[in-house]
Structure 1
Amino acid sequence: MALEDDAGPGLWAGTRTEEVGLDTGQDYGIATSRTFALAAYLDRWSGCAHHALAASDSEPLTLTALLHLAGPEDRLRWREADLGYAEPRGASWLRAAIAARYHRLEADDVLVSAGAQEAVTSVLSALLGPADHAVVVVPIYQPSELVVTRLCAADGIALHPDRNWKLDLNRLAAAIRPNTRLVLMNFPNSPTAAGLDLTTLDGLIELCRRHGLWLVNDEVYRQTELDQERAVPPVVDLYERGISINGLSKGFGLPGLRVGWAACRDRGLLDRILAAKNLLSSCLAVPSQILAHVALRAEPRLTGRARGIGHSNHRRLRTLLDRYPDLFDPDEPTNLAFACPRFRGREGATTFARTLASEDGVLVLPSTLWHSALASIPTDRLRLGLGRVGSSAALGILADHLLRRAGR
């Protein structure tokens, strides 16, 4: 969600503005600390790059294929649905299906939104004001950071690239102020694919509990995490002030439905989140809600399909990167939607990505697009999306490009 830059200067208190590690000319698209760099980059390059290795969602499902999975109840809802305004919180039967994915929740602990980013924006708007302070774990989806820094002062805690992107709890604790209100994070993380281990998450929750902080986690990549059995639980299940954000865009392959949600045990706060959401959209479309219910009922089939594609593409990527140890660090997959290898080429990751797009029409994303005004982010990574069927062909073109490059 790209946000217009209409905030007053007071909303930027406590942030550090830095030069983005991107050329600001037309070759890259303009990117500053107050614009959505990823959207600008896609706008610049998507028209000439026809082989996508940039997407982080799974292979999209067709409407016909999804409707084929509907049970009798949802088929009846579909036939009888009208296109009027729907319940602002989301239909009770959809919220109940979402709540069933958690261990402690009921339908009234869930608020449905038009995509996960609307949920993030609404949560942050309900919790933060000009007198507050927030801690943001970076890298993170840039619009989420922009929402925070337009609402209050903030500090960023960067994941450590040389320690498997580990979160340093000591540094996070040192950033907490008397007016700190929340910690915002995205685990499993994009673009790094890093996850949290249970020991670190328990320590983070204890830290938040001790200071009375809300812990907001964007969990949209839970369904594409490599080892589902070892994945940590959603924060809303572990912590009374935990808020879990999720949706159907990534692991389900349904970004076009625009279905997301916020899960929270504090129903009074959910009322405030709803008030904030109502300034963005009045409700989610009824057809999207019905289709979302179908998808949740068919979750094993949809996510299993997506995981199979991700596994296959990761194997092909690993074989390719192993041929060029001077250019790439080995990639050990931790998330099946994408990989984030270090690029060691002399020209740098951003120039390599631009050359690949212009010469061969393959779109990959340099890590500079996750630039943060709050902390330094490595600029030598490439995020490669691996959840699409077409990623296999794109990897073949990338292999040809690297072979030609080696012969120059």
Structure 2
Amino acid sequence: MKIKTFAVEHWMNLYEMEAVNNIAETCVESLTVNELIEIDGTNPEEFLRNLGKQKLTYGHIEGSPEFRGLVSNLYDSVSPENVLMMNGAIGANFLVLYSLIEPGDHVVAVHPTYQQLYDVPASFGASVDLLPLRPENQFLPDLNELKSLVNDKTKLIIINNPNNPSGSIIEKQMLEEIVEIARSCDAYILCDEVYRNLMQEDGLVVPSIVDLYEKGISTSSMSKVLSLAGLRLGWIAGPDQVIAECIKHRDYTTISCGMLDDLLAVHALKNYDNILKRNRKIIKDNLAILDAWIQQEPSFSYVKPRAGTTALLKYDLPISSEDFCIGLFKANGAFLTPGSCFDMEGHVRIGYACDTEVLKKGLEKVSEYVRTLQQEGNKKGHSYSKN
């Protein structure tokens, strides 16, 4: 099959490991193994001693009963049997698309979002229409536009909630309206929910699509909300027929995920509330820093994110987003993601949930680089200054 280069992943692969101040990372500041184990007072030496006694078998093929049970508790109407472990949300998304999409199907996907969600179904022979998320609409979908895109061949509507890269959040009422549009053409809804519950607003609760719609499918992972990307574990939560189809297709791609990862994930899920409390503090504190920087940096503006770990920053400089990010990286090692990775030229994506000092230093380096561009541009007679 033919498929485009995965722009954002290719970008991260090229530069991420050499970054001095990585403000492109999308996970909340990662936990160490000891931090994870100790989060509820567990003794790390005892935990690791017991871990060392485990035989390194394939483990539970579809995820341990404890893992599936704990994940099901994150939803209102999902049983453990309706949870299937995969290798990260990227594996979960791929398996859903591999299991459901056939040549000739029609898919509607929001855009911008994670490129996998629209290019993989296209590679399987589906006709894909993109539903634009516009800054003037707070990066929320226009439901009249969605209605105009669906038809009797629409197999799947794909959303990402909270949204990467914008940090927008579709609340319950709009989700219910999207469900009614899906019902009108008997389509599934796949919702990538890897940032679910990372809210900026206290008390804001947004339901999962799987709890709102009988043909809703939720994918998520241990990576973003739980700060454990190194475990490489995710899951699918969905209706019986979807899970059955995914298990059938999964046998051709995945035997099982790592049993040690499963054991550590179970410990994390038992402490979900503790980790979420830690991580919500990080995203709130860091967004306040980013927001203050935006207010004083005249070349940048943004739609303030309401959830997740990322934001799209619009800049007012006569330079492509890729050239800006490469120039920044070469100048001082600060690392951002170009908006071109999301077809959003004139923007960069920032991941603001990193270590707070890294964020502060990274933003300082961005400002320094902008001033350098402005000085060089003014010498050449170009207008690099907004004011």
Question: Is TM > 0.5 for Structure 1 vs Structure 2?
Answer: yes
Q: What is the deviation of 1:39?
A: 2.2
Decide whether aligned partners of structure 1 residues 247 and 143 sit closer, same or farther in structure 2, where only a CA change above 3 A counts.
same
Q: Distance in 2 between matches of 1:259 and 1:49?
A: 25
Q: Which region of structure 1 is more displaced relative to structure 2, 351-360 or 33-42?
A: 33-42
* Identity %, equivalent residues: 25
Q: Is the 8 A contact 2:167 2:307 kept in 1?
A: yes
Does structure 1 residue 174 correspond to structure 2 residue 140? no
One-letter amino acid of the counterpart of residue 138, structure 1: H
Query: Which residue pairs with 2:197 in the alignment?
Result: 223
Select which of 230, 241, 252 maps to 1:268. 241
Query: Which residue pairs with 1:56 in the alignment?
Result: 26
Query: Which residue pairs with 1:13 in the alignment?
Result: none
Does structure 1 residue 350 correspond to structure 2 residue 322? yes
Decide whether aligned partners of structure 1 residues 184 and 193 sit closer, same or farther in structure 2, where only a CA change above 3 A counts.
same
Matches for 1:94-109 after TM superposition, within 5 Å: 94-109=67-82
Query: Which residue pairs with 1:366 in the alignment?
Result: 338
Q: What is the deviation of 1:276?
A: 1.8
Decide whether aligned partners of structure 1 residues 276 and 228 sit closer, same or farther in structure 2, where only a CA change above 3 A counts.
farther
Q: What is the deviation of 1:122?
A: 0.8
1:36-70 superposed Cα distances (whole Å, 9 cap, x missing partner): 11122223333553210100101111112212246
Q: What is the deviation of 1:294?
A: 0.7
1:102-153 superposed Cα distances (whole Å, 9 cap, x missing partner): 1111110111111011111111111111131111111121123221101222
Select which of 87, 92, 96 maps to 1:123. 96
Q: What is the deviation of 1:364?
A: 0.4
Q: Distance in 2 between matches of 1:43 and 1:107?
A: 35
Q: What is the deviation of 1:247?
A: 0.8
Q: Distance in 1 between matches of 2:370 and 2:272?
A: 38
Q: What is the deviation of 1:405?
A: 4.3
SS of equivalent to 1:146: helix
Q: Is the 8 A contact 1:316 1:395 kept in 2?
A: no
Does structure 1 residue 238 correspond to structure 2 residue 212? yes
Q: Which region of structure 1 is more displaced relative to structure 2, 238-247 or 225-234?
A: 225-234
Does structure 1 residue 40 correspond to structure 2 residue 14? no
Q: Distance in 2 between matches of 1:330 and 1:129?
A: 38
Query: Which residue pairs with 2:288 in the alignment?
Result: 315
TM-score, reference length from structure 1: 0.85
Q: Is the 8 A contact 1:321 1:331 kept in 2?
A: no
Q: Is the 8 A contact 1:191 1:367 kept in 2?
A: no
One-letter amino acid of the counterpart of residue 67, structure 1: I
RMSD between aligned residues:
2.1
Query: Which residue pairs with 1:339 in the alignment?
Result: 311
TM-score, reference length from structure 2: 0.89
Q: Distance in 1 between matches of 2:230 and 2:310?
A: 19
SS of equivalent to 1:229: coil
Q: Distance in 1 between matches of 2:303 and 2:118?
A: 27
Q: What is the deviation of 1:34?
A: 0.9
Q: Distance in 1 between matches of 2:98 and 2:302?
A: 40
Matches for 1:85-234 after TM superposition, within 5 Å: 85-151=58-124, 152-227=126-201, 229-234=203-208
Give the length in aligned residue pairs: 369
Q: Is the 8 A contact 1:82 1:286 kept in 2?
A: no
Q: Distance in 1 between matches of 2:94 and 2:303?
A: 33
1:60-90 superposed Cα distances (whole Å, 9 cap, x missing partner): 1111221224669x94973542210122211
One-letter amino acid of the counterpart of residue 347, structure 1: I
Select which of 258, 263, 271 maps to 1:290. 263
Q: Distance in 2 between matches of 1:148 and 1:275?
A: 18
Decide whether aligned partners of structure 1 residues 150 and 100 sit closer, same or farther in structure 2, where only a CA change above 3 A counts.
same
1:143-197 superposed Cα distances (whole Å, 9 cap, x missing partner): 2322110122211111122211120111111111221111011111111111112
Query: Which residue pairs with 2:359 in the alignment?
Result: 391
Q: Is the 8 A contact 1:187 1:195 kept in 2?
A: yes
Q: What is the deviation of 1:391?
A: 2.2
Q: Distance in 2 between matches of 1:47 and 1:62?
A: 18
Q: Is the 8 A contact 1:115 1:258 kept in 2?
A: yes
Does structure 1 residue 303 correspond to structure 2 residue 276? yes
Q: What is the deviation of 1:369?
A: 0.3
Decide whether aligned partners of structure 1 residues 310 and 342 sit closer, same or farther in structure 2, where only a CA change above 3 A counts.
same
Does structure 1 residue 83 correspond to structure 2 residue 56? yes
Query: Which residue pairs with 1:254 in the alignment?
Result: 228
Q: Is the 8 A contact 1:320 1:399 kept in 2?
A: no
One-letter amino acid of the counterpart of residue 160, structure 2: N
Decide whether aligned partners of structure 1 residues 401 and 342 sit closer, same or farther in structure 2, where only a CA change above 3 A counts.
same
Query: Which residue pairs with 2:35 in the alignment?
Result: 65
Q: Distance in 1 between matches of 2:292 and 2:65?
A: 47
Q: Distance in 2 between matches of 1:276 and 1:161?
A: 38
Q: Is the 8 A contact 1:120 1:144 kept in 2?
A: yes
Q: Distance in 2 between matches of 1:189 and 1:255?
A: 18
Q: Which region of structure 1 is more displaced relative to structure 2, 391-400 or 270-279?
A: 391-400
- Structure 1 segments, 4+ long, off by >6 Å, are none
Query: Which residue pairs with 1:30 in the alignment?
Result: none
Q: Is the 8 A contact 2:352 2:359 kept in 1?
A: yes
Does structure 1 residue 401 correspond to structure 2 residue 369? yes
